Structure 1
Amino acid sequence: MLSSLVSYSRLVYTIPDQFPSVRRSTLVLKPMGVAVGELEGRMDFENDIALRVYEVINFAAATLTYYSYTVYRGDEKLYWYDPQPHPDDSTLASTHPHHKHVPSDIEHNRIPAPGLTLDQPNLPFLIQEIEETLLRFTKQPPAASPPVTAG
């Protein structure tokens, strides 16, 4: 999926169709050269929740070279993810370089982020996390068809 601008565009621009919890998306994926793209924008959810997204994608290597994901409720920054290395923090070694900044001292309070990767799209994971932790949104199974009766 990260191997071409076209394939990643399909994911990015169909997010509201795939995830009904996303009320609005301003994500824009733009080329920055032959093999590099930049994704920037935000996704809005109910309850004044927003996810701001910034990614730099190397399509030739099929990897994210940088990302920043920040979740807000209104103007309040709830948490964010970034891949800035913290080699002196052994608690983050299990998911290096991925980590999540969380309250109370959000700038310095970091926890491992096992759901993130540099070689797959992170957006589905981030949306699902928002649904499960901030929206309590659960996908309902499709409604069963009514039984067919002989008549």
Structure 2
Amino acid sequence: MLPSFEEYNRLVYSIMDIPSVKGSTLILKPIGATVWELEGEVEFGKGITLSISEQINFELGIIARYFYLVCRGDERLYWYDPQPHPHDPTLASTHPHHKHVPPDIKHNRISAPDLSFDKPNLPFLIEEIERELL
């Protein structure tokens, strides 16, 4: 289950305390009584950006939908989405979570065991960028 709204809010707005983060336009905004959207970008060095779109239901304690895109300048390096691909057996272990990677980024997908609907994904996404791109 996701942390409370207050804890999630603290996570989002303390992102600038992370040394690798150079800027953030993240905003958490209500779209219903218990549903919020997290939208914006996190900027890192070397021209790396992480675009985030989440819809979060705090009453149910879940991320109802997400899309995460990592770019270097205008180049899309990879993205994550939970669009089901039930006929792809390589994704079954983490269904529906997966990562689109080059080559043929739109159709080349790998499993994403570190993503979840019931815990914040932001810490993992930042750690992955720090480990692999910076």
- Tell me which interval the TM-score lies in, with the shorter structure as reference length: over 0.9
1:79, CA displacement in angstroms?
0.2
The structure with the largest strand share of the pair is 2
User: Matches of 2:93 and 2:53 in 1, distance apart?
Assistant: 24
Matched residue of 1:7: which SS?
A: helix
The RMSD of aligned alpha carbons is 1.0
Q: Decide which structure has the larger Cα Rg and report it.
A: 1
Contact kept? 2:31, 2:37, Cα under 8 Å = yes
Q: Which residue of 2 aligns with 1:40?
A: 39
Runs of 5+ unmatched residues, structure 1: 136-151
In structure 2, the residue corresponding to 1:129 is in which secondary structure? helix
Is residue 12 of structure 2 the alignment partner of residue 12 of structure 1? yes
Which 5+ residue runs of structure 2 have no aligned equivalent?
A: none
Equivalents in 1 of 2:43, 2:118: separation in Å? Answer: 25
> What is the percent sequence identity of the aligned residues?
63
Q: Does the alignment pair 1:98 with 2:102?
A: no
Separation (CA, whole Å) in 1 of partners of 2:103 and 2:92: 21
Write the distance in 1 (CA, Å) between the matches of 2:43 and 2:102. Answer: 21
RCO higher in 1 or 2 (8 Å CA, sep ≥ 6)? 2
Q: Per-residue displacement from partner, 1:39-82 (whole Å, max 9, x unpaired)?
A: 00000000000000000001001000000000000000000000
Structure 1: which 4+ aligned runs deviate by more than 4 Å?
Answer: none
- TM-score (structure 2 length as normaliser): 0.97
Q: Normalized against structure 1, the TM-score is what?
A: 0.86
Q: How many residues align?
A: 134
SS of equivalent residue, structure 1 residue 37: strand
